[in-house]
Structure 1
Amino acid sequence: MRFLAVCTALAAATALTGCGRLADPAGGSRKVTLWLMKGSASEDFVTRFTADFEHRHPGVDLEVRTQEWTGIGDKVNAVLDGTSGEGADVIEVGNTQVAQYVEAGGLSELTLEGLREWGGKDWLKGLSDPGSVGGAQFGVPWYAANRVVIYNKDLFADAGLKNPPKTRQEWLQATQKLDKGDRQGIYLPGQNWYVLAGFIWDEGGELAVESAGQWVGALDDEKALAAMRFYKQLQALGDGPKDADEETPPQADVFARGRTAQIIAPPGQAAQIEAANPALKGKLGFFPIPGKTSDKPGAVFTGGSDLIIPERTRNRREAVDVITALVSEEWQTELARTMSYVPNKTTLAHVVEGNEGAAAMAPGAAQGRATPNSARWAEVEGKNPIKPYMTAVLTGQDPRQAARTASETISKVLSSDR
């Protein structure tokens, strides 16, 4: 609090924004501020990283501030446009948020550093692609997380299934065996559109495509329609609601009752399941979402975070040093093992071996994708025409017409002027 008060006074006196950009006028340590999102890293990780960074960079005082996801967009934009009372030199943002910050302006380009210092050629595309706009890199991949299949080992054994399926066809056949009596083969809510997105990418389709500077919804493409047909087949092998998503009710709670064989979720949900039903501890397994063929797993939506540097920072060199440390093999390994994440590079997938959940994520992450790289995609998710489209198909409406309606809404949102 004392530092914030000093910062406010200095800003008022000098009309400079960004406390993290000001060096001690007496020649002391230079303050560098890193914003991390709540839940992204443990307190122990932050403490150890800060101490190690300051030890290796004498004269730098690294301050890590934890931010809430709610309202973060406005806070980041205020830093970028210089109207914030707080400063930040490095900011963690959601990987799909980078495009909207680039459109607003105020991000520092990091293309050269990515190529020369951070091994950008090996980055996960689901993190690096949304961080790149117009061929320039603005977001630096930090960590990834994606969905896998969490399964009940006892129910698999009861059905005579010794190994997890590796292809879609094997998956359907296994799930049919599991879907008996009062047991659900899979709990798949009708509006889990992130799962559908993976199936669409597997088929070679897209949620939306860009042509001549205009985005157009693509759910009515034949490839996307084929993906929806597969989703319908799989969803029918359980009792998931056709008109709700995975949070209504929370699918972890449904699985915890012990009569559901599979759900599609980040592996971190296993902890929620075990907390709700301790009898399931040690009985949960994980496998990558199966692909169309056994040579590679299915495509998945890659969630996770990128790191950005505001253009207004006066500590760009030190900010680059912070990112260099965060994306190093040492700290990528620490973060992945501590938080059960997938590291930011395909070449580091081996560091999560031994963590069953994270290891199941890694193959999918290599096939991972992100949502269309439009600054307006967040508005699409706000309206989310994909969810009612899925419900329409699952309840027997004409798939092509429902897809066309949803695609038109996506096109309208992505092409509209603000």
Structure 2
Amino acid sequence: MQRHFFRLTAATAALGMAITLMGCTAPEEPGVVTLKLVAADYDVNGGQSSRKYWANIVSKFESTHSGIKVDVQIEPWTSVDRKVAEMVKAGQGPDIAQIGAYADYAADDKLYSANDLLSVPVQSNFLAPLVDAGEQRGVQYGLPFAASTRLLFYNKKHFAKAGIAKPPENWSELRQAAQLLKDNTDVEYPFALPLGPEEAQAETMMWMLGSGSDGYVDPGGGYTIDSHENTTAFEWLKSDLVDPKLTGPVAPGKLNRKEAFAAFTRGDVGMLNGHPSLMRAAESAGIQLGKVIMPGRSGRPKATMGVADWIMGFKQNGHQREIGTFLNTLFTDENVLAFAAQNDLLPVTITASDAMAQDPKHKNLTEFLDELPHSVLPPVHKTSWAVVSEEIKQNIGNAVKPGGNPQQVLEGIAQKATEAEGLE
């Protein structure tokens, strides 16, 4: 999901929201439970939108729940997961954390389950792929907070100049389009392929799904990183896109998503895989943007990749009832839609998704909304995933470099995954 840096400013005080720092918690009023909530900052410009969102939520909640107060601590995405881990280890864990991963805490029995916290109507309203990704051993601990998926983005102006009549519907057409862009335009990146360490695990999974695989794991949950489908996907990328120099001047293993997205907004990219935030940035930059389902090897892929960030309730302070009361309020359509719309993300609930799809203001998100209910997420429920994801980020680019061997690279990552899984 989005990872943005936050700058603390004097404007914080004007929001009227208590930002409690570690070790500075105020004493509770008699008969009042104060919940500690640590949340990530999503503001792309380092502004106040995340603080304002939580301030509004807390103000409304406290006005109708006199026995519960909520102190919110906003942290940048670059450090929020580490901060929460440090707090939990020090015995000063939050009651609620809105962060990027839940698996280790669930495995250590530190979290309340969704059954412990949510009413049946709220719990049953989450989109199915997000529920599946939030489960560990058949029990849901990770509550989806924000979601997104990916589409193929293309520059209509470059397509017209290159004589490409329609967006590609399979990999063969994608390669042809990239070649036409290279031969007939001055675009730097006919197809931008960011396999650098920033988010290579996401780009990798999209191509695996397009090759007909289940992604990183089989239906039983075992890693299948070096499967035939996954290997052939990277053999195709190397032989049909990278070796013919259709992926631009920067080697895919050195190209990060941030740089690829920036190049797209400058008009230097013909095609890439993008998400809703890039859509707004590109349109603001005057790019004539087209977007379609990312093509698979033979047509529509088996599934689209989805991603999610999570919110969870910790057992450490014993505030099960109060946490549940707050979270049941948090997941109303009004609150879910407000956060998604503010941050160019997708709602995590069925009813909020339906409401967004019917709102003309969000027509440009229709294709994303259509894909999310059928998406496949990375195996975030596995405690080994953090290690495996890092291995992919650091090494998958080697599969397509000159002289690289996709099969050997995937087998090496698969071996590391087997070792990590053995420690779960």
Q: Indicate whether the TM-score tops 0.5.
A: yes
Give the direction of change, closer, same or farther, for the CA distance of 1:390–1:166 in structure 2 (3 Å limit). same
CA-based RMSD of the aligned residues comes to: 3.6
Q: Distance in 2 between matches of 1:120 and 1:204?
A: 28
Pair 271,155 (structure 1): closer, same or farther in 2 beyond 3 Å: same
Q: How does 1:236-247 map to 2 (within 5 A)?
A: 236=244, 237-239=246-248, 241-247=250-256
Q: Which moved more, 1:108-117 or 1:146-155?
A: 108-117
Read off the aligned partner of 1:67 and give its amino acid letter.
Answer: E
1:363 aligned partner? 370
SS of equivalent to 1:129: helix
- Alignment-mate amino acid for residue 295 of structure 2: P
Q: 1:35 aligns with which of 6, 30, 38?
A: 38
Q: What is the match of residue 16 of structure 1?
A: none
Cα distance, 1:44–1:161 mapped onto 2, change above 3 Å: farther
TM-score by length of 1: 0.79
Q: Which runs of 5+ in 1 are unaligned?
A: 10-18
Counterpart residue type for residue 50 of structure 1 = V
Distance 2:267 2:228 in 1: 38
Cα contact 1:34–1:64 (8 A) shared by 2: yes
CA distance in 2 between counterparts of 1:61 and 1:168 reads: 54
Q: Which residue of 2 aligns with 1:51?
A: 59
- Whether the aligned pair in 1 keeps the contact of 2:192 and 2:272 (CA below 8 Å) is yes
- Closer, same or farther: CA 404–219 of 1 in aligned 2, 3 Å: same
Partner of 1:415: 422
Q: Deviations over 1:261-281 (max 9, x none)?
A: 12223231355557xxx7x42
* Whole-Å separation in 2 of the counterparts to 1:77 and 1:7: 12
C-alpha contact (below 8 Å) 2:19/2:73 kept by paired residues: no
Deviations 1:90-128 (A, max 9, x none): 21121xx21111223311122365571314364241x32
1:399 aligned residue (406, 414, 424) = 406
Secondary structure class of the residue paired with 2:269: coil
Q: Secondary structure at the match of 1:185?
A: strand
The structural deviation recorded for 1:351 is 3.7
Unmatched segments (≥5 aa) in structure 2 = 1-12, 44-48
Deviations 1:225-253 (A, max 9, x none): 23223433345533153352442881133
Give the corresponding residue for 2:46: none
**Alignment match of 1:229 (pick from 211, 235, 240):** 235
Note if contact 2:127-2:373 (Cα within 8 Å) is conserved in structure 1.
no
Match of 1:333, as an amino acid? L
Structure 1 residues 332 and 291: CA distance shift in structure 2, 3 A:
farther
Counterpart for residue 289 of structure 1: 294
Aligned residues: 391
1:7-406 mapped onto 2 (5 Å cutoff): 23-25=28-30, 27=31, 29-39=32-42, 42-80=50-88, 83-84=91-92, 88-94=94-100, 97-111=101-115, 116-120=120-124, 122-125=126-129, 127-161=130-164, 163-181=166-184, 182-183=186-187, 184-191=189-196, 192-202=200-210, 203-208=212-217, 217-232=223-238, 233-235=240-242, 236=244, 237-239=246-248, 241-247=250-256, 250-270=259-279, 280-281=285-286, 283-291=288-296, 299-353=303-357, 354-355=361-362, 358-372=365-379, 373-382=381-390, 384-385=391-392, 387-406=394-413
Q: Following TM superposition, by how much is the alpha carbon of 1:77 offset from its aligned partner in structure 2, in angstroms?
A: 3.5
Cα 1:210/1:38, change in 2 over 3 Å: same
Q: For residues 141 and 399 of structure 1, what CA distance do their matches in structure 2 show? A: 34
Q: CA deviation at 1:325?
A: 2.1
Amino acid at match of 1:412: E
| SS of residue in 1 equivalent to 2:102 | helix
| Pairwise CA distance, 1:130 | 3.2
**Identity over aligned residues, as a percent?**
20
- Any idea what SS the aligned residue of 1:342 has? coil
How far 1:169 sits from its partner (Å)? 4.6
Instruction: State the Cα distance separating 1:411 from its structure 2 match.
Output: 1.7
SS in 2 for 1:42: helix
